[in-house]
């Protein structure tokens, strides 16, 4: 029975992966459609009555969200005689959904730095453990990080906590912890490199004891704990922010948007590493 369940789960995962690209194409098509229609109607004047919009159920002449920078997109929903032959028009709901999605772009852009730091967990954090007294320390560090992250996520999802600390507060706190994590990692790395030089460690030595400095792997504990706080607070805050602002018609795509944002940060870390490789020796 367990084998059949695992097989069905694998099939569901494969199907989800296939559908991801179709969902991305659908969302991209909706955004492109609104942009192209608005551009084709850029010469039109803004309506003076609600009836001049397609499917205007709100009764207003300013389409929500009322963001001045995206006001020109409202023209995509304007009724005109030109569209009869071409069929290029959008409803008020379609324009509002796209505008609401675009207003989240600045917040997603802030998470690029968060993703760059997150990608270091399995790369530079492990690299920093070289020449340190190890034991089972690295396992303990990852275990503590996982426990702290899970604990903070559980507490932050509590109803009273969500009421007092909104998504922006959690995201802001997560970004502060990300800066603190970078500072802690920098201080530890500076100290590690200093001791390697001071104690005359030979990096080409075969014996591991000859490559070990008087510094334990637990020196990395502060940055691991700060990383856990950053990941749990900022990640949970992003999920809540998207749930609160994403249009109902795109709500099921919320996790997909978050994954795309986080994945872009991971991919961006590769060219940045190549560009600034001299910083890392």
| Whether pTM exceeds 0.75 | no
In the chain, % of residues over pLDDT 70: 81
Q: Which whole number is the average pLDDT over 266-274?
A: 72
Which domain does 149 fall in, by range?
Answer: 104-280
Q: What confidence score (pLDDT) does residue 113 get?
A: 79
261 and 138 inside one domain: yes
- How far apart, in whole angstroms, are the C-alpha atoms of residue 60 and residue 266? 42
Q: For residue 18, is pLDDT > 70? A: no
278 exposure class (CB count in 10 Å sphere: 0-12, 13-18, 19+) = exposed
The residue out of 101, 123, 139 marking a domain boundary is 101
The residue out of 83, 101, 119 marking a domain boundary is 101
- How far apart, in whole angstroms, are the C-alpha atoms of residue 177 and residue 171? 10
Structurally, the chain folds into a number of domains equal to 2
175 and 110 inside one domain: yes
- How far does CA 189 lie from the centroid of its chain? 27
Contact between residue 73 and residue 99 where contact means Cβ atoms under 8 Å apart:
yes
Q: What confidence score (pLDDT) does residue 157 get?
A: 77
Q: What confidence score (pLDDT) does residue 2 get?
A: 46
What three-state secondary structure class fits 133? strand
pLDDT category of residue 193 using cuts at 50, 70 and 90: confident
Q: Which whole number is the average pLDDT over 93-105?
A: 85
57 and 182 inside one domain: no
- How far apart, in whole angstroms, are the C-alpha atoms of residue 145 and residue 44? 57
Q: Which whole number is the average pLDDT over 217-229?
A: 92
């Amino acid at each position: 029975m367990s084998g059949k369940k695992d097989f069905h789960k694998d099939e569901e995962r494969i199907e989800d992966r296939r559908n991801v690209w179709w969902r991305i194409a659908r969302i991209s098509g909706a955004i492109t459609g609104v942009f192209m229609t608005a551009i084709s109607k850029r010469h039109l004047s803004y309506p003076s009555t609600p009836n001049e919009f397609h499917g205007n159920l709100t009764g207003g002449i300013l389409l929500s969200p009322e963001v001045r920078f995206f006001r020109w997109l409202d023209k995509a929903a304007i009724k005109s005689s030109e569209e009869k032959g071409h069929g290029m028009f959008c409803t008020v709901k379609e324009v509002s959904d796209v505008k609401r999605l675009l207003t989240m772009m600045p917040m997603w852009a802030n998470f690029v730095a968060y993703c760059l730091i997150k990608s270091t967990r399995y790369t530079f954090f492990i690299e920093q453990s070289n020449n340190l007294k190890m034991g089972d320390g690295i396992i303990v560090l990852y275990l503590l990080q996982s426990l702290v992250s899970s604990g903070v996520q559980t507490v932050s999802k509590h109803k009273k906590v969500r009421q007092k600390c909104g998504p922006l507060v959690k995201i802001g706190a997560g970004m502060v912890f990300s800066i603190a994590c970078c500072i802690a990692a920098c201080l530890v790395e500076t100290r590690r490199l200093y001791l390697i030089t001071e104690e005359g460690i030979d990096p080409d030595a075969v014996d591991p004891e000859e490559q070990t400095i008087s510094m334990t792997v637990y020196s990395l504990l502060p940055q691991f704990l700060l990383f856990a706080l950053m990941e749990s607070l900022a990640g949970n805050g992003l999920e809540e922010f998207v749930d609160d602002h994403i249009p109902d018609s795109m709500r099921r795509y919320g996790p997909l948007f978050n994954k795309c944002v986080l994945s872009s940060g991971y991919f961006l870390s590769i060219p940045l590493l190549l560009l600034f490789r001299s910083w890392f020796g």
